[in-house]
Amino acid sequence: MEARLLVIQFAQIVFSTLVMFLFMVLITESALYIFKIKNARARAIMRAIPILKLPLEVLFAHESLLIDFNVLSCSSILRQWVIPHFITKEQLVCSKLTLCQYIASQIPSTLTFFCTSLLILFLGISIYRTGQLLYGFYELKKICRRAEVYDREITNGKLKQKINAKKVQILITPDVTVPCAIHSNMIVFPKSAINELLQEEFETVLAHELEHLCWYDPLIKFLSLLTSKIFFWIPTSLWLKNLEYEQEHASDLSIKRYGLSEISLATAIFKMMKILRKNQKDKISLLPACGFMRSQNSSLKRLQVVLKQNNEIFSLFQYFGVGIIALTAVIIGFKMC
């Protein structure tokens, strides 16, 4: 009985998180379209909500499915459409059974082994995928420990001041093929490519990675990936790619704050594309980080956007508007999912 009950409760989490994620995606995409949000940083903030909200859905999951909290979850569908044909709420109360316990009691005892195996399989896959990500994070920390400090002079005064204020470490190592923003204060450059970048190209890449650190993009990326590995049954891959693109696009456009040229950034991207094509490394170690680029296609798309020189100003009004939309999405999500 206990094994079957655990399977039913886990099935509730599986279906409710899946429905919640899809519903939050719909809310987010609708908000981005209706409010015409073009700012890449605002879009990145919005796209992080559906994934980062998934653990909260589990925290608010109740053992009893009779509690009317998740109107779109499988528990609600069972409660409103299916279960009333077999048993009423009053009968459950009289028999002192929760809906989970009632459903579990209706599963034949001969299926107990199957239910237990299914639960172990799901948990095993989740632990394995989570372990893969954590191992990649561990490998990334080892790369940072082995890396050398890079003391190239920074001529841009505004950029230098911000790097010093945030106490950012600039490192070089042969273990990466593209520049990466790591943790909260590390920027790692590939040793083989650093000398190929001209001074302004180097500073534009540095400004790009610094913006990742200022907006905590590596942390958001890591938490999003960790959540997607734990909730492996939810199709988050495309959403994660869109989130990553918005983060990269926002950091590309932010170099204007330092008075740096988009042309220098475009040439730096082009050089990194050539290097990446020649020397592909193990991508697992770079998953928790914000790499300067991931694929040729995404880099080409970024080149096109950068060279268009679109002026996107993130004003106080946009901060307020995005905050209101994000808060509304979270409230609606908890109320309806």
Q: What is the rounded CA–CA span in Å between residue 292 and residue 194?
A: 13
Q: Are 40 and 318 in contact (CB under 8 A)?
A: no
Q: What is the rounded CA–CA span in Å between residue 287 and residue 212?
A: 15
* Highest mean pLDDT out of 26-35, 204-213, 268-277, 322-331: 204-213
Q: How confident is the model at residue 329 (pLDDT cuts 50, 70, 90)?
A: low
Q: Is 44 exposed, middle or buried (0-12, 13-18, 19+ CB in 10 A)?
A: buried
Pairing of strands 186-190, 169-173: parallel
What integer pLDDT is reported at residue 328 of this predicted model?
A: 62
What are φ and ψ of residue 303, in 5° steps?
-60, -45
Q: Nearest-CA neighbor of 35 among 325, 332, 287?
A: 325
Q: pLDDT tens, 114-141?
A: 878 888 998 999 999 999 999 888 888 8
Q: Does the pLDDT value for residue 183 go beyond 70?
A: yes
Q: Are 282 and 323 in contact (CB under 8 A)?
A: no
The residue ranking higher by pLDDT, 106 or 80, is 106
Q: What is the rounded CA–CA span in Å between residue 94 and residue 322?
A: 48
What integer pLDDT is reported at residue 65 of this predicted model?
A: 39
What integer pLDDT is reported at residue 185 of this predicted model?
A: 92
Q: pLDDT tens, 214-264?
A: 999 999 999 999 999 999 999 999 999 999 999 998 999 899 889 998 889
Q: Nearest-CA neighbor of 314 among 108, 99, 117, 37?
A: 37
* Global confidence as pTM: 0.83
Q: Are 188 and 180 in contact (CB under 8 A)?
A: yes
**C-alpha atoms less than 13 angstroms from C-alpha of 293 in its C-beta half-sphere:** 26
Tokens of 290: 């914000």
β-strand partners of 212:
none
Q: How confident is the model at residue 337 (pLDDT cuts 50, 70, 90)?
A: very low
Query: Which amino acid appears at position 333 of this protein?
Result: G
Mean pLDDT computed over every residue of the chain: 79
| CB atoms near residue 223 (< 10 Å) | 16
Hey, is 289 helix, strand or coil? coil
What integer pLDDT is reported at residue 214 of this predicted model?
A: 94
Q: Nearest-CA neighbor of 319 among 37, 15, 48, 25?
A: 37
Pairing of strands 180-182, 169-173: unpaired
